[in-house]
Amino acid sequence: MEQQTDEINKIIHIKCTEQEKQKVIAELSSYLYDYQFNFIIVEEPSQE
């Protein structure tokens, strides 16, 4: 999973799998009102 935050435009870009997306939404729900989320769904988890 990769994440980039655009502080100026209040957008969080997240590159992740569909499963990771659900977890991120649950964990970051407190940020949903302050930031927009841009999810880029990939098939395989990123190898880090």
What's residue 18's pLDDT? 93
Residue 13 near residue 36, CB atoms below 8 Å:
no
pTM given for the model? 0.70
Radius of gyration of the chain (CA): 11
What's residue 2's pLDDT? 92
Phi/psi for 31 (5° steps) reads -90, -10
DSSP code, position 29: G
Residue 21 near residue 39, CB atoms below 8 Å:
yes
What's residue 33's pLDDT? 74
What's residue 11's pLDDT? 92
Alpha carbon 11 to its chain centroid, in Å, reads 9
* pLDDT tens, residue order, the chain (48 aa): 899 999 999 998 999 999 999 998 888 776 667 888 899 999 875 565
Structural domain spans, the chain? 2-41
